[in-house]
Amino acid sequence: MRILVIGGGGREHALVWRLAQNPTVDRLFAAPGNPGIAVDATCVPVDPDDTRGIVDLVRRESIDLTVVGPETPLVKGLVDELDAEGHRAFGPTRDAARIEGSKAWAKELCHKYGVPAGRSRSFTDLDTAIAYLNELEPPYVIKADGLAAGKGVVIADDRSDAIAALRVCLIDRAFGEAGAVVLVEEHLTGREVSAFGLTDGREVVPLVLAQDFKRAGDGDMGPNTGGMGAYSPVPWVDEGMERRIWDEVLVRTVRAMESEGVRYAGLLYAGLMVTEDGPKVLEFNCRFGDPETQAIVPRLRSDLGEMLLASVEGNIGNYKALWASDVCVTVVLASGGYPGPYETGFVIDGLDEAGAIDDVVIFHAGTAERRGRVVTAGGRVLAVSALGATAEEARDRAYQACSRISFPGMHFRRDIAADVTEAG
CATH assignment of the domain containing 202: 3.30.470.20
pLDDT at 149: 72
Does residue 113 sit within a domain?
Answer: no
Beta-bridged to residue 215, according to DSSP, are: 224
pLDDT at 423: 42
Buried b (16+ CB within 10 A) or exposed e, 336-374: bebbeebebebebeebeebeebebbbbbbbbbbeeeeeb
**Do both 299 and 211 map to the same domain?**
yes
pLDDT at 168: 94
**Do both 181 and 251 map to the same domain?**
no
Does residue 301 sit within a domain?
Answer: yes
Rounded-to-integer distance, Cα 17 and Cα 28, Å: 10
Does residue 297 sit within a domain?
Answer: yes
Among positive and negative, which fits the CA dihedral 20, 24, 26, 30? Answer: negative
pLDDT at 422: 44
The predicted-structure confidence for 48-58, as pLDDT tens digits, reads as follows: 999 999 999 99
**Do both 227 and 337 map to the same domain?**
no
pLDDT at 321: 94
CATH number where 9 lies: 3.40.50.20
**Do both 365 and 311 map to the same domain?**
no
DSSP 226-283: S-SEEEES-TTS-HHHHHHIIIIIIIHHHHHHHHTT---EEEEEEEEEEETTEEEEEE
Rounded-to-integer distance, Cα 394 and Cα 359, Å: 8
Supply the range of the domain harboring residue 370.
Answer: 327-404
pLDDT at 398: 99
Q: Which DSSP letter does residue 341 get?
A: -
The predicted-structure confidence for 69-120, as pLDDT tens digits, reads as follows: 999 999 999 999 999 999 999 999 999 999 999 999 999 999 999 999 999 9
Number of domain units in the chain = 4
**Do both 201 and 302 map to the same domain?**
yes
Looking at the chain, the whole-number percentage of residues with pLDDT higher than 90 is: 96
Does residue 412 sit within a domain?
Answer: no
**Do both 221 and 314 map to the same domain?**
yes
Boundary of a domain, candidates 255, 290, 318: 318
CATH number where 373 lies: 3.90.600.10
The predicted-structure confidence for 376-418, as pLDDT tens digits, reads as follows: 999 999 999 999 999 999 999 999 999 999 999 999 999 999 9
Does residue 229 sit within a domain?
Answer: yes
| pLDDT of 424 higher than 60 | no
**Do both 179 and 210 map to the same domain?**
no
Does residue 114 sit within a domain?
Answer: no
Amino acid at 332: V
Does residue 108 sit within a domain?
Answer: no
Buried b (16+ CB within 10 A) or exposed e, 165-203: bbebbbeeebbeebbebbbbbbebeeeebbbbbbbbbeb
**Do both 216 and 279 map to the same domain?**
yes
CATH number where 144 lies: 3.30.1490.20
The predicted-structure confidence for 153-197, as pLDDT tens digits, reads as follows: 899 999 999 999 999 999 999 999 999 999 999 999 999 999 999
Q: Output the average pLDDT for the chain.
A: 96
Rounded-to-integer distance, Cα 113 and Cα 250, Å: 12
**Do both 12 and 83 map to the same domain?**
yes
